[in-house]
C-alpha cells in the first residue's frame, strides 16, 4: 500500500500564544543542519524499516509538510527536502502534495518554488479573519493578507486550499465568528479545518488561562460553552454552504477531503521525518503485532544531534482500539462488521456494552452495523474514545 510522507518543519516567524506544537522561533543558522538531518533520515528510511522487520513500500501517494511554518525555509532548502523524497521514493502521478503556510509568507519566489516542487495543496493558517483576534494571539497577518494569499495561490494554479480556523480565541464573539465563517465561505476554499482552542500547559495562553491570569489576553477567552456553540455554528454554516463535515475538525467539498490525513484515521502506513514526527508501518507477518509505530524526539537539539526513534509494536488489541479511536473521528463512523472481519467477532463484542451505553447517552448513533458520533458526541469525543481504550491513545499529526 502506498505510503504517506510527513515532514515536520518546526520553525516559525513568531510563536503564537495558543500553540502547543513542538515548534518555535530559531536562528536561521540551524535551518541547514536540520534540513540535512531530515534528508539523511529520508535516505535511511528503508534500511531502518528493514532493521525493524516492518513492511515498506517505496511508492508514495501523499506528502505533507507541516510545522511550524515550512515556508520560512528558503527555496533551496525546500527543494532539497523534496529532492530527497524523489530520490528515495517513487512519488506516484497525482499524489497529493500539501504544504502548511502562514499568511504573509507566500512571496512570489516562494510560490514559484512550491509550484516547481509539485505542491498542489496548501493549508493556510488563517485562524481568524478578524484582525483583533489574530493580533491577540501573535499572528502577523491581517484579513487582507490572507485573502490576497488565497487569490495568489489560485493565480499560481493551486486551487486545493485549506483554511484553518480556531474557535475560542481571545475576544471572539458570536458575531465575529460569523464574520470569519462568512469570509471563509466567500473565499470558496474547498477545505476548512475548525479546531476548538486547546487549554493545556503546553502553550503560554493555556498556562495563563489555567492560572486565572490576564497575560496574552487570557481574560478575553470565551468560556467552554460559547466555544462549543461556535464549533456547532461552524458545522451548520459550512454544511449549508456545501462544505460538509467529514471528520471532527475537517470539512470539505466533494473530492477535496485530505487524502493524507485520511491515512492517519484509517490506519494506512505513513512515515514522518523531522522533530516530533510519527510513523506507522505494517509489522512483520509473523508474530502478534499489527503494526509498528515510532516517533522522533520532540526537542530540536536532540533530533539534530541524532537521537534515534523508539519503536512501539502495536498489539492486535491496541490495533482494535485504534480502529475505534481513529475511525470514530470520521463522520462515516466505524463499520463493526468490517472490524469483526479483521479482528474477529469476539474481539468486537467486548465493546458491545460501551456502544449500547453511548447510544443511550446520545453520544453515538448506531444504524445496523455502523456506529458514528452524534453532534453531541463530537463535542465530547474524548469521553467517547476513552470508553474504547484499555491502553493510552496513539498520537498522530492533526
Helix, coil or strand: residue 19: coil
Question: CATH: 3.40.1390.20, 1.10.10.920, 1.10.3720.10, 1.10.10.10. Which one for 316-398?
Answer: 1.10.10.920
Residue 222, Cβ density class (10 Å: 0-12 exposed, 13-18 middle, ≥19 buried): buried
* Spatial separation of the C-alpha atoms in residues 123 and 66, rounded to whole Å: 9
Note the pLDDT of residue 310.
Answer: 80
Instruction: Provide block-wise average pLDDT over 10 residues at a time, the chain (398 residues).
Output: 96 74 66 95 95 93 94 95 98 98 93 97 97 88 96 97 96 97 98 90 76 82 92 98 98 98 97 96 75 92 87 91 96 96 92 96 97 96 92 51
DSSP per-residue letters across 178-240: HHHHHHHHHHT-SEEEEEEPP-STTSHHHHHHHHT--GGGGGGSPPHHHHHHHHHHHHHHHHH
Domain residue ranges of the chain, discontinuous segments joined by +: 3-262, 316-398
Best CA proximity match to 65, nearest among 98, 32, 23: 98
Best CA proximity match to 26, nearest among 9, 40, 47: 9
Note the pLDDT of residue 392.
Answer: 55
- What is the H or E stretch that residue 32 is in? helix 31-43
* Spatial separation of the C-alpha atoms in residues 1 and 80, rounded to whole Å: 26
Q: Give the strand order in the sheet containing 250-252.
A: 245-247, 250-252, 191-196, 160-167, 121-127, 90-101, 59-67, 3-9, 270-273, 278-282, 289-295, 310-315
Note the pLDDT of residue 212.
Answer: 86
Helix, coil or strand: residue 302: helix
CATH of domain 3-262: 3.20.20.70
Note the pLDDT of residue 281.
Answer: 96
Best CA proximity match to 313, nearest among 54, 56, 57: 54
Note the pLDDT of residue 30.
Answer: 87
Best CA proximity match to 117, nearest among 152, 154, 79: 79
* Spatial separation of the C-alpha atoms in residues 223 and 289, rounded to whole Å: 43
Residue range 320-377, pLDDT digits in tens: 999 999 999 999 999 999 999 999 999 999 999 999 999 999 999 999 999 999 999 9
* Spatial separation of the C-alpha atoms in residues 54 and 78, rounded to whole Å: 29
Could you tell me the three cell numbers for 347? 474481539
Could you tell me the three cell numbers for 95? 499524489
Could you tell me the three cell numbers for 355? 456502544
The answer to whether the CB of 105 falls within 8 A of the CB of 67 is: no
DSSP label at residue 70: G
Could you tell me the three cell numbers for 145? 493578507
* Spatial separation of the C-alpha atoms in residues 123 and 282, rounded to whole Å: 29
Q: Give the strand order in the sheet containing 364-367.
A: 334-335, 370-373, 364-367
The torsion defined by the Cα of 131, 134, 139 and 144, in degrees rounded to 10, comes to -30
What does DSSP say about strands 160-167 and 191-196: parallel, antiparallel, or unpaired? parallel
Could you tell me the three cell numbers for 336? 463493526
Note the pLDDT of residue 220.
Answer: 84
Amino acid at each position: 500500500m502506498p505510503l504517506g510522507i510527513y515532514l515536520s518543519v518546526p520553525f516559525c516567524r513568531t510563536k503564537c500564544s495558543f500553540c502547543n506544537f513542538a515548534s518555535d522561533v530559531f536562528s536561521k543558522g540551524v535551518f541547514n543542519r536540520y534540513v540535512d538531518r531530515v534528508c539523511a533520515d529520508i535516505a535511511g528510511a528503508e534500511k531502518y524499516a528493514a532493521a525493524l522487520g516492518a513492511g515498506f513500500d517505496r511508492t508514495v501517494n501523499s506528502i505533507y509538510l507541516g510545522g511550524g511554518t515550512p515556508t520560512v525555509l528558503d527555496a533551496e532548502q525546500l527543494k532539497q527536502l523534496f529532492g530527497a523524497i524523489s530520490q528515495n521514493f517513487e512519488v506516484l502521478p497525482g499524489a497529493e502534495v500539501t504544504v502548511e503556510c502562514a499568511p504573509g509568507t507566500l512571496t512570489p519566489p516562494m510560490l514559484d518554488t512550491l509550484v516547481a516542487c509539485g505542491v498542489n495543496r496548501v493549508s493556510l493558517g488563517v485562524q481568524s479573519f478578524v484582525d483583533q483576534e489574530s493580533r491577540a494571539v501573535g499572528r502577523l497577518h491581517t484579513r487582507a493578507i490572507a485573502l490576497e494569499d488565497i487569490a495568489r495561490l489560485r493565480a499560481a494554479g493551486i486551487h486545493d486550499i485549506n483554511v484553518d480556523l480556531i474557535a475560542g480565541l481571545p475576544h471572539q464573539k458570536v458575531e465575529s465568528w460569523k464574520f470569519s465563517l462568512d469570509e471563509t465561505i466567500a473565499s470558496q476554499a474547498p477545505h476548512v479545518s475548525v479546531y476548538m482552542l486547546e487549554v493545556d500547559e503546553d502553550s503560554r495562553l493555556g498556562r495563563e488561562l489555567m492560572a486565572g491570569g490576564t497575560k496574552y489576553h487570557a481574560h478575553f477567552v470565551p468560556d467552554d460553552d460559547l466555544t462549543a456553540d461556535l464549533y456547532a455554528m461552524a458545522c451548520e454554516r459550512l454544511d449549508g454552504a456545501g462544505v460538509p463535515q467529514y471528520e471532527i475538525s475537517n470539512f470539505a467539498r466533494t473530492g477535496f477531503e485530505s487524502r493524507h490525513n485520511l491515512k492517519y484515521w484509517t490506519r494506512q502506513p505513513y512515515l514522518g521525518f523531522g522533530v516530533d514526527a510519527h510513523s506507522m508501518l505494517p509489522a512483520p507477518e509473523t508474530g502478534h503485532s499489527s503494526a509498528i509505530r515510532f516517533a522522533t524526539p520532540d526537542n530540536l537539539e536532540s533530533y539534530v544531534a541524532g537521537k534515534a526513534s523508539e519503536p512501539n509494536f502495536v498489539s492486535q488489541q491496541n490495533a482494535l482500539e485504534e480502529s475505534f479511536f481513529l475511525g470514530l473521528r470520521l463522520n462515516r463512523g466505524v463499520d463493526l462488521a468490517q472490524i469483526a472481519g479483521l479482528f474477529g467477532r469476539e474481539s468486537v463484542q467486548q465493546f458491545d456494552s460501551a456502544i449500547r451505553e453511548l447510544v443511550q447517552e446520545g453520544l453515538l448513533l448506531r444504524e445496523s452495523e455502523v456506529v458514528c458520533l452524534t453532534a453531541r458526541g463530537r463535542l465530547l469525543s474524548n469521553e467517547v474514545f476513552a470508553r474504547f481504550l484499555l491502553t493510552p491513545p496513539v498520537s498522530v499529526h492533526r
